Amino acid sequence: MPPTRFLDRTSPPHIVSLVAIAGLSALTMNIFLPSLPAMAKELAVDYDRVQILVSGYIAMTALVQLIIGPLSDRFGRRPVMLGALVILLAASLICMVATSIEVLTVARMAQTAVVAGLVLSRAIIRDMVPVEEAASMIGYVTMGMTLVPMVGPTVGGLLSDAFGWRASFAAIAIAGLLVLVLVRNDLGETNRQKSSSFTAQFRAWPGLLTSGRFWAFTLAATFTSGAFFAFLGGAPFVGGTLMGMSPSVLGLQFMFIASGYIVGNFFSGRYARRAGIEAMMLIGGGVALAGAALPVLLFWQGITTALAFFAPQIIVGFGNGLSLPSANAGIVSVRPELAGSASGLGGAITMGGGAFVSWLASAILSTQTGAMPLLLVMLACCVLALVAIGVLWLQRHPSVGAAR
């Protein structure tokens, strides 16, 4: 692999470009979250109708990833990424002018093409470096990427207060155009072993799906990120409806979980190569579980303030930031020659699980139940993630299980 040179399309991409394409995916997912109550009001629909723009979007990204990975293994990372960005631009323009929930939903689903940024950033890194170094590099990329979702809901809330909810989709279109220019000039092709046919990638799935390590990594990633997706699905209702926050104030609350995530990613980038990916996942899973348990205990004691709900999410985010880069590095390293397909398939399972959890978190919330059902769903996700990580640990260290 030739050395990286910034804005040189004949060399591998600079880390700035990897952060940009992954960050755009995160921005598209969450910038409009504080505007959901306002969107429901203007379009004259119930909250659960607009919430499909979150859970449905996550579900659609699962399907898209099934295609993105094999496409990039067959035709290369660069052309697939460029095509995805063009689709995002067109879909964002339709979202800006949509006057019905049906049109908005269809355009929103088309925006899921941008998930290529998440899939391909991991596959590109695996193309460039070996597994332990990949975990560190994914950690650094995710750390930089997290700056976007950290400020995305805040910016979206401010835009909604000033210009209405459509301004968030205008911001996505502008950001997409800028990233398209960057990718065109910097993203050199890294897939040096393109598959012979598109269907050959799907024929490789049984090899992945029958791998115990692939499933352990994937389920760990699914349940770890499930806590975050549950938060995305339920937090707008908790903050906007139950606690009466304005979009701009609600947007600020998302900085708790995002700031914890970015710090966790920093530590992952710094120590994953030294500690090993299983150890990083185990530590991260334990930290996230502690963070999810804290607000449950506070609410159980009758402390139901906004601070009691949102502030502990910084611990959940920190644990996820420690664990997820290593889980993602493990997914794409089970079969390195199929990094794109593994990233897509693993990402599809992760997003599919996230879509269900996001829907579940919003479906069980009401003014009567309060925020406790959401907190319990997040806690359950963290417990299941730690179980999957424990299984992975025992696969690598069978003597530990035998000693018990």
8 lies in a domain?
no
351: nearest Cα among 220, 205, 201, 225: 225
When divided into structural domains, the chain yields a total of 1
103 lies in a domain?
yes
131 lies in a domain?
yes
325 lies in a domain?
yes
Residue 397 has pLDDT above 70, yes or no: no
**The pLDDT of residue 398:** 55
Q: In CATH, what number is assigned to the domain containing residue 100? A: 1.20.1250.20
Binning pLDDT at 50, 70 and 90, where does residue 338 land?
low
The answer to whether 365 touches 175, Cβ cutoff 8 Å, is no
Total-model pTM: 0.70
262 lies in a domain?
yes
Residue 402 has pLDDT above 50, yes or no: no
Range from 29-38, 41-50, 199-208 carrying the lowest mean pLDDT: 199-208
9 lies in a domain?
no
The residue among 190 and 287 whose pLDDT is bigger is 287
**The pLDDT of residue 29:** 82
Q: What pLDDT, in 10s, does the model give residues 162-180?
A: 898 899 999 999 999 999 9
**The pLDDT of residue 71:** 82
**The pLDDT of residue 204:** 67
Q: What pLDDT, in 10s, does the model give residues 60-99?
A: 887 887 788 778 878 888 899 999 999 999 999 999 999 9
5 lies in a domain?
no
Residue 382 has pLDDT above 60, yes or no: yes
Range from 124-138, 301-315, 371-385 carrying the lowest mean pLDDT: 124-138
Q: What pLDDT, in 10s, does the model give residues 196-247?
A: 666 666 676 777 777 788 888 899 999 998 898 898 888 888 988 889 888 8
Residue 332 has pLDDT above 80, yes or no: no
Residue 1 has pLDDT above 60, yes or no: no
305 lies in a domain?
yes
Domain with 158, as residue range(s), is 15-403
